[in-house]
Every structure is written in C-alpha cells, then in structure tokens.
Amino acid sequence: MTDGPDIAAVVRPKLFQPLTIRGLTLRNRLVVPPMVHYRCGPGHTCGTFHVVHLGRYALGGFGLVFVEATGVEAVGLINEHDLGIWNEAQAESFKPLIDFMRRENTAIGIQLAHGGRKSSSQSAMQGMGPLTEENIRAGSKVWQPVGPTAEPVAPGWLMPRQLTTAECRAMPATWARAARNAVKAGFDVIEIHMAHGYLLASFLSPVSNTRNDEYGGDRAGRMRLPLEIVEAVRREMPDTMPLFVRVSSVDGTKEGWSMDDTVVLARELKARGVDVVDCSSGGIAGAATAAQVPRSLGFQVPFAERVRREAEIATMAVGLILEAKQAEAIVANGQADLIAVGRQSQYNPNIAHHWSHDLGINRRFEDWDPEYGWWLEKRIKTMEGFATPTGSVTRSA
C-alpha cells in the first residue's frame, strides 16, 4: 500500500489524499460500509434500487462503496430480500451498477456473506431478531439455517442444522464460486464478512463453536474454516485486486472472542493476502450488531488502531464517525487507513463532498461532478454578503 503524492500531502488533508491498495487507487479514504437494505430484485439480483442507492454515494464523493452483505449461497441469506452472488444471473445483475461507479471514479466492492445460524431472520425494521409467528403468518420466508453446532443464537431463534465436517471442507468452494462471480462481474474489491455472529464469526467464537472436529476446539481450530475460505477467495482474485475482511474485533462477552484473538487472526489474514481488516464488533449472541460493546463516538477506532499497530496491516475504522475533523484525526494519527461512514451517509449521501468543504478544500466545488460543481461554483458570487459558498445563511433578507 502506498500513500498519495507528496504535493497532495501539502495541500490536502490526509482523508482526501488518494490511497493505493494493490492495483487500485482510491480517490480518498472515505468508504460506505456494507449496509443491507432488503431491496433485491427477482432471484436475489441487483436492480434499479441499488444502482440509485449506491450511485448516490459515488456522486457524493466517496472513494469506495461496498454493496451490502451478499449471500454466497441461498441457505446463507440473512433475509429473503438480500442480494446473492452464487449464480451467473446474479453476477450479471451487478454490471450496470459497476459500470456507473467506474465512470464516476468511485471504487465498488462487494461484501460476501453467509448468515450461518442467523439466516432466515428478521429485517432491521422487523426487529433484527428471529422471525416471529406473526412475521411468518404475514409471509416472511422461513428455512432452516446451518451453523457450527445445532445450538440457536439464543432462545427463540431458529434451530440450525450442524454443518458436517465434510460440509465444512466443501464450504471454501462455495465462497470461491461467489468470489469468481464477483471478479467476473467487475468488482474492484471483495470483503469477506467474518463479523456480527454470522457463519464465519460463529466459527471463530468459543461462545458458538463447540465442535470437536478439526473445525472447532482451540483458536487455531476455530479459525480453520474462515482462513480456508480466505485462501479460496484470494485464489480467485487477480493480484491487483484488494481483499478486505470485516471482523467483530470483540464479542463483548467475557468468555467470547477478544482483541488478543483478533490480533492473532489479523496476522493470519495478512499472511494469506488480505489487505485491510475492517474492525467492527459484537453480534455473537443476538441482533447483528447487538450492543454488547458500549457505544460512543468512534467506539471501534481503538480496535482498528490496535490491529494496525500489532498486526501491521491496514485497517478500516467504522462506527459513529460523524464529523470531518474526527475522521481526519483518525487517519492523520495513524489509527486507521480508511474511514467507513454508515448511517451518517444514509443521512447525507453527499457527506464526502461536504467533509472536504469542512476541511477547507474543494472550495470551488472542483471535486464535484462538473454538472453540479459548475453551478455551485457560479453561485458563490451570487450569494456573497448573505450566505457562505455551501449555502449557510449569514445575513437574513
């Protein structure tokens, strides 16, 4: 990974300097993390909703945008409305989105996911828990999930079927097929979802993985399946293509996965060609990001910082990063290499551009697409005396 040119370093805040990872150069360090929106097209394909929804972030100035958790196989869909990438038709369906993002100079990644024992669960708006009788009566699709054991996530959740040893051995090929489809579709980046209690997180954590075959037991045994999957996915990717892994840095329970474990895992990921560790947390015992980890401003940044320092791998910080100065300080202080902005980008899809204004660059709207920037630049003069260039009124009429 190499930093941007020195000239840029003098003028531009670090957040808005380019970053090269393998063969991919991002225009800045701002990333939209994967966020499911339950709007797949027929057959779990990508349709107009996702082109519009994710395209807004390209127009809004982000360097990299991730497609939400996308199923590597049908049984691993977290919810019946999620995207999939296990077949050709699904892979093809991403092409209009990818073409659009490429023309906008925003990289496009995909998060490959398997829900494990949290598959066939509620959408966020339904409560993000197990499907209720009422949900099922109202038409929610229910199927039996799979997991490291036949233990449910918690009382009330669906009883998973335990994956056999042979099925675990076959699982890397399932992920490899999805990775192959993602490469063929033209994605710039792949992220493996190893967080939030879904399949791979549930293999890592001693809370959920009590298997006694080669895929359970001590930490090395529990890491075996996730690492075999990383190897299989990496093999399908060109050398120039970056691979990210999202981890739950800590389960947030005393007996669960810890930061020491994450540092060990991150070293193993790095040895297998992973480029960036995306440091999230929680989710082993309930809703996807169940608040077992106390939440405050930038609460997961220390996880990204420690992984970066101790495993010597690039990291992405995520979680309640709300303002430009906060984001800039994280990258400038070397706590993380990339900043993911989730809900704050839902609130304001143009936030990357807005933050560049906040940090004193992009003053003439030169980073905006010209069809926007030309007009906004011309408006500056018109508003002199009563409003700032970005439209804050300074003197009322």
Q: List residues with catalytic annotation.
A: 198
Stretch of 32-40, 174-182, 252-260, 263-271 contacting ligand FMN, by CB under 6 A: 32-40
Q: Which of 16, 19, 21, 33 binds ligand FMN (CB under 6 A)?
A: 33
What's the one-letter identity of residue 322?
Answer: L
CB closer to ligand FMN, 323 vs 369 = 323
Stretch of 23-31, 54-62, 152-160, 314-322 contacting ligand FMN, by CB under 6 A: 314-322
344 binds ligand FMN (CB under 6 A): yes
282 binds ligand FMN (CB under 6 A): no
CB closer to ligand FMN, 242 vs 319 = 319
| Closest C-alpha among 307, 115, 106, 314 to residue 201 | 115
Beta strands per DSSP E along 234-308: 243-248, 276-280
> What residues numbered 202-231 form the site for ligand FMN, per CB under 6 A?
none
342 binds ligand FMN (CB under 6 A): yes
195 binds ligand FMN (CB under 6 A): yes
CB closer to ligand FMN, 119 vs 280 = 280
**What six digits make up the tokens of 210?**
């009590």
Q: Which of 265, 279, 293, 318 binds ligand FMN (CB under 6 A)?
A: 318
193 binds ligand FMN (CB under 6 A): yes
- Rounded to whole angstroms, how far apart are CA atoms 175 and 242? 16
Which SS3 state, helix, strand or coil, does residue 8 take? helix
Shortest Cβ distance from residue 133 to ligand FMN (Å)?
25
Which ranges of 187-286 does DSSP label H, i.e. alpha helix? 199-204, 219-236, 259-271
What's the one-letter identity of residue 142?
Answer: V
Shortest Cβ distance from residue 193 to ligand FMN (Å)?
5
User: Do 278 and 192 meet the contact criterion of CB atoms below 8 Å apart?
Assistant: no
- Rounded to whole angstroms, how far apart are CA atoms 233 and 200? 14
Q: Which of 309, 343, 363, 378 binds ligand FMN (CB under 6 A)?
A: 343
| Closest C-alpha among 289, 145, 172, 174 to residue 232 | 172
DSSP result, 121-149: B--TTTTSSBPPHHHHHTT------EESS
CB closer to ligand FMN, 4 vs 324 = 324
* Per-residue DSSP letter, 372: H
CB closer to ligand FMN, 97 vs 216 = 97
336 binds ligand FMN (CB under 6 A): no
319 binds ligand FMN (CB under 6 A): yes
CB closer to ligand FMN, 187 vs 365 = 187
Using alpha carbons only, what angle is made at residue 1 by residues 28 and 111, rounded to the nearest 5 degrees? Answer: 65
Cα–Cα separations (whole angstroms), residue 68 to 138, 279, 332, 345: 25, 16, 28, 14
Question: How many residues line the site for ligand FMN (CB under 6 A)?
Answer: 22
Shortest Cβ distance from residue 82 to ligand FMN (Å)?
8
351 binds ligand FMN (CB under 6 A): no
Q: Which of 34, 61, 71, 147 binds ligand FMN (CB under 6 A)?
A: 34
User: Do 293 and 280 meet the contact criterion of CB atoms below 8 Å apart?
Assistant: no
- Rounded to whole angstroms, how far apart are CA atoms 367 and 388? 18
Shortest Cβ distance from residue 289 to ligand FMN (Å)?
6
Q: Residue 247: what are its φ and ψ, rounded to 5°?
A: -115, 155
111 binds ligand FMN (CB under 6 A): yes
> What residues numbered 119-178 form the site for ligand FMN, per CB under 6 A?
124
| Closest C-alpha among 66, 67, 62, 65 to residue 27 | 62
Strands 146-147 and 24-26: unpaired
- Rounded to whole angstroms, how far apart are CA atoms 266 and 165? 25
CB closer to ligand FMN, 68 vs 236 = 68
User: Do 158 and 142 meet the contact criterion of CB atoms below 8 Å apart?
Assistant: yes
CB closer to ligand FMN, 94 vs 365 = 94
Q: Which of 30, 341, 351, 352 binds ligand FMN (CB under 6 A)?
A: 341
User: Do 182 and 84 meet the contact criterion of CB atoms below 8 Å apart?
Assistant: no
Stretch of 208-216, 217-225, 339-347, 353-361 contacting ligand FMN, by CB under 6 A: 339-347
**Site residues for ligand FMN per CB under 6 A:** 33-36, 68-69, 111, 124, 193, 195-196, 246, 280, 289, 318-321, 341-344
